[in-house]
Structure 1
Amino acid sequence: MLDQHPITGQSFESPVPPCSGWPGDPAEPATPVASSEEQVERLAAGAADLTQLNALVSVCRACPRLVAWREEVATSGRRRSFANQPYWGRPVPSFGDPNAKHLIVGLAPAANGANRTGRMFTGDRSGDWIYAALHRAGYASQSVSEHAGDGMALTGIRIAAAVHCAPPDNKPTVDERAMCGHWLDRELELSLPDLTSILALGSFAWDATIGAARRLRWEVPRPKPRFGHGAVTEFRAAGRVIRVVGSYHVSQQNTFTGKLTEPMLDAAIALLQWA
């Protein structure tokens, strides 16, 4: 059965309920919807600024498996504790200061976290960790981020992702990663005038960031810098140096086991300040 997209008005098969009026929704009825890699690449390259890029990301439908999964979770697959809450169920755009000096790159939205709330790292325990740390470092206006309309604001920093849709088992395929890589390429390109450093959360984000930098023809050390917590490398672009810092991801697997502690995360974030 055909539904009408809540933002663009285009018809497609989807059970996701309308999200118009969602706090912070960057898309408008005229925002074009990418449904192929050619369209993703073209639309990403043509985004004039980060606001327009966010709008394009937020309505992307180019990866059938991810579209099906994120929308299944948003309807029949809701966690019982959130059963009565509306779900975003769309790609999650970047969030934070559009003129940020620092960029955080994560893996992908959590199925019942950002896929529910519509904002990066919001509404789950991973988000509890990263926003508390950003608050301690002076980047976040509050230490807790529960939903898109809770007043959270970031200053001097922005959060992006290697993949913008929640993937099954938190594992995007190679093709899905390549598809979303076009969005990350443009994110870095538009960020460059203000950017001084990048924090990669996990080896997946580390590799995605290096891949995007190389596609943009930034100077990246060879052999490829190895990921590790507290690892630091440097890119060069447009005559400028961009510091890249590695951190273990704020996943429950890492935080519950003590592989990542609050002091370790604070130390990695502190490495962003160098210029």
Structure 2
Amino acid sequence: MLFAALHRAGLANQPTSVSRDDGLTLTDTRIFAAVRCAPPDNKPTPGERDTCAPWLHRELELIRPTLRVVVALGGFAWNAFWPALRHVYGVRVSPRPAFGHGAHWTGGSEVPTLLGCYHVSQQNTFTGRLTPAMLDEVLSRAIDLAADS
């Protein structure tokens, strides 16, 4: 569902990806994770997030000059953003805005805008909590925000 949405938004050259050498290319898009492995029951803990944080911070540092918008897929990613923002940009946000689908936070021109989106898990997509149209809307908003910054 994610790659199909990226394709519809013009951010991917094809709607599916089945292997690392299947020809998928992304345009002006980078996908990275708050945790580096799939934990038991696919439910990462805050401790796992904190253990993996240096990798997330490094990725953000590497793309910092061009990063304008972050789409957090799920509340876990949303919550991982705030310590990363503090570490990479020196910005502390308090109180932190609550996660929700379509949630939007902007901290000014020096930091990326954050958009919330329900995670593209089977639990969310099979139940209709997240539909292709909902994902398309968030990606469209991200593209518009990136163009305006």
Q: Does TM-score exceed 0.5, indicating one fold? A: yes
SS at match of 1:256: helix
The superposition leaves residues 164-197 of structure 1 with CA deviations (integer Å, 9 ceiling, x where unpaired) of 1121111223322111001111111111100110
Partners of 2:88 and 2:23 lie apart in 1 by 34
The superposition leaves residues 42-74 of structure 1 with CA deviations (integer Å, 9 ceiling, x where unpaired) of xxxxxxxxxxxxxxxxxxxxxxxxxxxxxxxxx
Partners of 2:92 and 2:2 lie apart in 1 by 27
Equivalence for 1:245: 115
Paired residues, number: 145
With normalisation by structure 1, the TM-score equals: 0.51
Of 15, 28, 45, which aligns to 1:173?
45
The structure with the largest strand share of the pair is 1
Aligned-residue identity in percent:
51
For the 8 Å contact 1:235–1:241, the answer to whether it is kept is yes
SS at match of 1:271: helix
Q: Which has the higher contact order (CA 8 A, sep 6+)?
A: 2
Partners of 2:43 and 2:121 lie apart in 1 by 13
* Runs of at least 5 residues in structure 1 that lack an aligned partner in the other structure: 1-128
In the TM superposition, residue 211 of structure 1 has moved relative to its aligned partner by 1.7
In the TM superposition, residue 217 of structure 1 has moved relative to its aligned partner by 4.4
With normalisation by structure 2, the TM-score equals: 0.91
Equivalence for 1:159: 31
For the 8 Å contact 2:73–2:120, the answer to whether it is kept is yes
* Corresponding position: 1:230 with 2:99: no
Computing the radius of gyration over CA atoms, which structure comes out larger, 1 or 2? 1
Equivalence for 1:143: 15
Partners of 1:181 and 1:235 lie apart in 2 by 21
SS at match of 2:101: coil
Partners of 1:156 and 1:217 lie apart in 2 by 21
* Runs of at least 5 residues in structure 2 that lack an aligned partner in the other structure: none
In the TM superposition, residue 220 of structure 1 has moved relative to its aligned partner by 4.5
* Corresponding position: 1:200 with 2:68: no
Partners of 2:27 and 2:84 lie apart in 1 by 24
After TM superposition, where is structure 1 displaced by more than 6 Å over at least 4 residues in a row?
Answer: none
In the TM superposition, residue 139 of structure 1 has moved relative to its aligned partner by 0.5
RMSD: 1.4
